[in-house]
């Protein structure tokens, strides 16, 4: 299709010009046609003066308006300027002038009278102007809707996009991991392709399939893969597409979408971000029945309206299943929920291989190692990691992506960009170095702490400094000894400030928040306190729309609450004391690491271990990094077997409670 104006554009411009011309003509008529016929406007006193001087030749009287012509030119002064005139316009006063006609006849002035117009042109024009203006605005609005594929009557039509198998080239081969989810979806596809096989056994296929999982785990990708695998029509729509400014549009679009799917059955409907229309009804103070609730009610009605084995299956995706209305998730509607969780190490390896297909990698890069060092990364995070590495390789003029590019990209994804403009003075740099050295030494010494990957005092994002720990494997359960060591590691920064500077700084703000959240969870939820070993005192969040503090209730007494606070304080104080003792026992390594951070700004984890183990032979041979990751500190060493990415930051750290 060649470029140019869309159909009807010429006609639209013509209508706009006609409206503009009409408005201009009406304005001109109101300004000239309805007013005096011409001449200088003078006062009635000036007209009487010219009449007394016998200088009036002719007058035309129309209502209260007098148009006249003088025998000879006269002049008057307006705003300091002298104006000469011979034709004039004036108006009779409201109280009239009974002797005017006698004077005109006495001087033989020609008098012409015309009837005053009875039609209210002024009122008509003033009434037409806003109507024409509204017509023009409405026409422009409709034209814009048509340019977006919406007509006046198509606004209620479904926005679901139909995919054919030939249009969608994504298949299950493009989806790494999520093996259980793919098996469940293959069963759905088999039913759609061969429904008689299941019907003969008395089987009923689920009407709805809900994909649940954190953002970036591949829920939408799985749906696209279903579209590529299935030989049936696939309708895809976002939950927000049902919302419009007009009342009833959402419900109408739901009806239209299901009607189209039934006409082409067997078919699949996929609703992305279901939580945008599927939230709990009546939520909030005062409840309500807004447009979103009407849309949800219509969706529930359509799901109930399916006949058995009609051949239309609804798929939906959400990362907030906790806020969905219970009527959506009951049997008979979204019968089956498929959890698409964060990928395992093996799945991360497969995902990395998929995203590395079209990217040149150097021989030193081991994707399996990168998979081990990125636990907690979603598929989207891994894709972003390789993309950032490719951009960095291009910036550094590399022919292929290097390991240093991967490492720098990981730091960028996890911690943010370097704050190049921030310059620390010597005192602040020393304080920051000891703070991060405190985290690192405690982590390197305690037996159950995660291995150290890197310590840096290069400001990134919101963090002034960072101690990176990479767990040896993916963790799904947390032991008490691991949590206690982790608390001590987090307290290592504040302990270092107390030991070296005999003071406290604001740099430990986030550390203290992490400790409080973790200790509170240990006592209330996990039963790990000395006084509450086998009881969970935590409450459900309650109605998420009312606010956590407003909705939740406490099921224990004030005395128990005070004991809980005392238990949390005890756990916190013990973690701080362990950190202080650990740093005092390893004071030499502590001081040396701080000095290395001041000089080099970044120290790899294996060097921290050498300091603790007093293996100092190779330390002096390593060059200063000045914030750049050296090849020796890229995590590839056999001394550290990284499995996870857990970063203890001074601010805005992402930690799982």
The closest alpha carbon to 296, from 264, 328, 329, belongs to 328
436 in active site: yes
Distance from the Cα of residue 411 to its chain's centroid:
23
Tokens of 184: 């469940």
Residues 463-498, buried b or exposed e (16+ Cβ, 10 A)? bbbbbbbbbeeebeeeeeebbbbbbbbbbbbbbbbe
CA distance 520 to 568: 6
- CB contact set of 255 (below 8 Å; sequence gap of 6+): 298, 302
Structure token digits, residue 471: 């767990």
Cα 208 to chain centroid, rounded: 27
Long-range contacts of 511-518, Cβ-Cβ distance < 8 Å, separation of 24 or more: 511/648, 511/650, 514/490, 514/648, 514/653, 514/655, 515/487, 515/490, 515/491, 515/572, 515/575, 516/568, 516/572, 517/657, 518/483, 518/486, 518/487, 518/490, 518/655, 518/657
Using CA atoms, how far apart are residues 403 and 389, in angstroms rounded to an integer? 9
Annotated catalytic residue within 229, 244, 293, 436: 436
**Sheet strand arrangement including 452-456:** 602-604, 452-456, 466-469, 646-649
CA distance 170 to 106: 103
And the tokens for 50?
Answer: 């010219």
**DSSP string computed for 308-360:** TT-SEEEEEEES-GGGB-HHHHSTTSS-EEEE-----HHHHHHHHHHHTTTS-
- Enzyme catalytic residues: 436
């Amino acid at each position: 299709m060649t470029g140019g104006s869309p159909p009807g554009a010429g006609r639209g411009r013509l209508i706009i010009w006609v409206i503009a011309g009409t408005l201009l003509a009406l304005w001109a008529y109101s300004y000239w046609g309805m007013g005096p016929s011409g001449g200088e406007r003078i006062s009635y006193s000036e007209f009487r003066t010219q009449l007394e001087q016998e200088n009036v030749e002719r007058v035309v009287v129309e209502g209260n308006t007098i148009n006249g012509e003088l025998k000879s030119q006269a002049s008057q002064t307006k705003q300091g300027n002298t104006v000469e005139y011979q034709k004039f316009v004036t108006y009779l006063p409201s109280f009239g002038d009974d002797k005017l006609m006698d004077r005109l006849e006495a001087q033989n002035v020609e008098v012409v009278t015309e009837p005053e117009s009875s039609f209210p042109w002024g009122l008509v024009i003033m009434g037409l102007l806003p109507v024409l203006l509204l017509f023009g605005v409405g026409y422009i609005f409709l034209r814009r809707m048509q340019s977006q594929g919406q007509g006046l009557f198509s606004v209620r039509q479904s926005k679901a996009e139909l995919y054919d198998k030939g249009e969608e080239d994504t298949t299950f081969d493009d989806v790494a991991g999520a093996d259980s989810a793919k098996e469940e979806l293959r069963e759905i596809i088999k039913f759609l392709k061969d429904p008689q096989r299941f019907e003969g056994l008395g089987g009923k296929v689920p009407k709805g399939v809900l994909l649940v999982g954190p953002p970036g785990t591949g829920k939408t990708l799985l749906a696209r893969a279903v579209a590529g695998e299935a030989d049936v029509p696939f309708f895809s729509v976002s939950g927000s597409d049902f919302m419009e400014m007009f009342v009833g549009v959402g419900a109408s679009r739901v009806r239209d979408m299901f009607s189209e799917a039934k006409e082409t059955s067997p078919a699949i409907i996929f609703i992305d971000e279901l939580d945008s229309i599927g939230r709990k009804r009546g939520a909030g103070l005062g409840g309500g029945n807004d447009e979103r609730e009407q849309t949800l009610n219509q969706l529930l009605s359509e799901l109930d309206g399916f006949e058995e084995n009609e051949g239309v299956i609804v798929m939906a995706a959400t990362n907030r299943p906790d806020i969905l209305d219970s009527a959506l998730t009951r049997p008979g509607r979204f019968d089956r929920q498929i959890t698409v969780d964060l990928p395992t190490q093996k799945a991360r390896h497969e995902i990395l291989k998929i995203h590395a297909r079209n990217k040149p990698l150097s021989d030193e890069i081991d994707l399996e190692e990168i998979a081990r060092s990125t636990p907690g990364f979603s598929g989207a995070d891994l894709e972003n990691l390789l993309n950032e590495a490719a951009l960095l390789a291009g910036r550094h003029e590399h022919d292929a992506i290097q390991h240093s590019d991967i490492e720098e990209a990981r730091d960028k994804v996890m911690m943010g960009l370097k704050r190049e403009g921030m310059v620390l003075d010597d005192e602040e740099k020393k304080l920051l170095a000891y703070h991060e050295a405190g985290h690192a030494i405690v982590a390197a010494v305690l037996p159950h702490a995660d291995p150290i990957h890197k310590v840096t005092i290069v400001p990134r994002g919101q963090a002034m400094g960072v101690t990176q720990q990479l767990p040896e494997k993916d963790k799904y359960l947390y032991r008490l000894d691991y949590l206690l060591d982790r608390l001590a590691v987090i307290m290592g920064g504040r302990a270092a400030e107390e030991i070296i500077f005999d003071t406290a700084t604001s740099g430990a703000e986030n550390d203290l928040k992490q400790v409080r959240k973790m200790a509170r969870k240990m006592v209330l939820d996990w039963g790990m306190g000395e006084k509450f070993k086998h009881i969970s005192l935590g409450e459900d969040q309650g109605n998420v729309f009312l606010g956590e503090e407003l909705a939740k209730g406490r099921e224990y007494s004030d005395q128990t609450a005070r004991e809980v606070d005392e238990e949390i304080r005890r756990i916190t104080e013990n973690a701080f004391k362990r950190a202080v003792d650990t740093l005092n026992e390893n004071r030499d390594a502590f001081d040396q690491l701080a000095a290395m951070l001041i000089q080099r700004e970044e120290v790899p984890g294996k060097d921290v271990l050498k300091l603790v183990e007093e293996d100092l032979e190779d330390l002096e041979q390593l060059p200063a990094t000045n914030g750049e990751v050296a090849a020796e500190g890229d995590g590839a060493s056999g001394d550290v077997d990284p499995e996870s990415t857990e970063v203890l930051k001074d601010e805005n750290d992402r930690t799982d409670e």
